[in-house]
Amino acid sequence: MRHFFVDNALHWLREYHIDGLRLDATHALHDESEPHFLAALSAAVDDHIDGPERFLIAEDSRNQSLLVQPRDADGHGLDAVWSNDLHHQLRVFTAGDTQGCYRDFQGTTTDDIATTLRDGWFFRGGHSEHVGGPRGTDPAPVDRTQCVVFIQNHDQVGNRPAGNRLTDDVSPATYRALSVLLCVVQEIPLLFMGQEWAASTPFQFFTDHNDEIGPRVTEGRTEEFADVSGFAGDVPDPQAKATFERSVLDWDEPRRPPHDGVLALYHDLLALRPQLGDEIRVDARSDTTLLLERPPVHIIVNLKGAAQVDMPSALTAILHTEQSGYTVAPQPPAVSADAVSFSRAGAVVLGAA
């Protein structure tokens, strides 16, 4: 079976020239043999794949540094690992989530968010109420570019009762601010399909099983959310064709407001990303604001309400989330020689005057 799975991965990389593989739920992969299956897989990819580098990325909730440590240092040698903590912190802070995995996060100030951005993840062995025990390891051996971060993904949308996106739960201004934060950090940003234009379509859990398995999935999905507080609606039937059809992206949206403005913002942020310096300093400037310094650029992010942040030096705004090209109802921040004032959530990218 080990050979089967390794050869299957090599087949996709070698025959179809896939850039890389996301390894699903590696936290649920139990292997006590030597070498561990993940180490064997990464070694096989290194040995048998020629040409451009191919990437192996672990979807893993444990914050385990060994996943990306070199094999000669007793690691598994993968290229990157998902870091769920940032997503959970931002959802708690901006959308007010409190159940399930979100119980582990306070969401009252930006201090914890700053810690995660500086270190790669937040939990490093402390007690997790959701897990019921310790979670995580020291992130110090892990490079920030080995951490994949996101504000949405297939699980965090599809596993919600109605498949609602982040844009359904936070204001457009907050969503733009979160988008800036995601795109300017050292970690690798993951974009979930349609997020780059604030897609209005949900992503609901849908299946196409046979008559034996299908009804069980439908029943299980209903039972899963029976005790979720605040949710009293009908769970979409995974087996219904309409559930799938509601989840199909509307490809006309990116060409009309307000979606075209969000797409323009993402376009400019991704163009900016290669210009950011290799070093980063992250400070929580207040309960709602963050300052990220990536010379020659500084970024101020306000995640909630009105706020004022002192300017780090004589800089000028080169991009902000309230530009007329990004929103149909702009409320631009006031940028002076010594401060930036926000009337609502937003972000400003500052450069040399």
| DSSP string across 150-175 | -S--HHHHHTSTT---GGGTS-HHHH
Amino acid at 140: A
Q: Determine the structural domain holding residue 54 and report its residue range.
A: 2-201
Model confidence at 234, pLDDT cuts 50, 70, 90, reads: confident
| Boundary of a domain, candidates 201, 227, 262 | 201
For residue 261, is it within any domain?
Answer: no
Whole-number average pLDDT of the chain: 95
The domain that holds 315 is classified in CATH as 2.60.40.1180
pTM of the model: 0.95
Q: Give residue 250's pLDDT.
A: 98
Which positions ≥6 away from 155 have C-beta within 8 Å?
A: none
| CA gap 247, 312 in Å, rounded | 44
Does 32 lie in the same domain as 138?
A: yes
| CA gap 281, 334 in Å, rounded | 24
| Boundary of a domain, candidates 141, 169, 201 | 201
- Hey, which residues are catalytic here? 24, 59
Q: Give residue 311's pLDDT.
A: 83
For residue 187, is it within any domain?
Answer: yes
Q: What does the pLDDT look like over 45-67, one tens digit per residue? A: 999 998 899 999 999 999 999 99
- Other C-beta atoms closer than 10 Å to the C-beta of 128 total 18
For residue 254, is it within any domain?
Answer: no
Q: How many domains does the chain have?
A: 3
Q: What is the dihedral of CA 112, 105, 230, 302, to 10 degrees?
A: 0
Strand order in the sheet with 20-23: 20-23, 55-58, 80-82, 147-149, 188-189
For residue 257, is it within any domain?
Answer: no
Q: What does the pLDDT look like over 266-310, one tens digit per residue? A: 999 999 999 999 999 999 999 999 999 999 999 999 999 999 999
Does 30 lie in the same domain as 174?
A: yes
Q: What does the pLDDT look like over 87-140, one tens digit per residue? A: 999 999 999 999 889 999 988 899 999 999 999 999 999 999 999 999 999 999
For residue 23, is it within any domain?
Answer: yes
Q: Give residue 353's pLDDT.
A: 67
- Other C-beta atoms closer than 10 Å to the C-beta of 330 total 16
Q: What does the pLDDT look like over 5-47, one tens digit per residue? A: 999 999 999 999 999 999 999 999 999 999 999 999 999 999 9
How many percent of the chain have pLDDT more than 70? 98
Does 89 lie in the same domain as 8?
A: yes
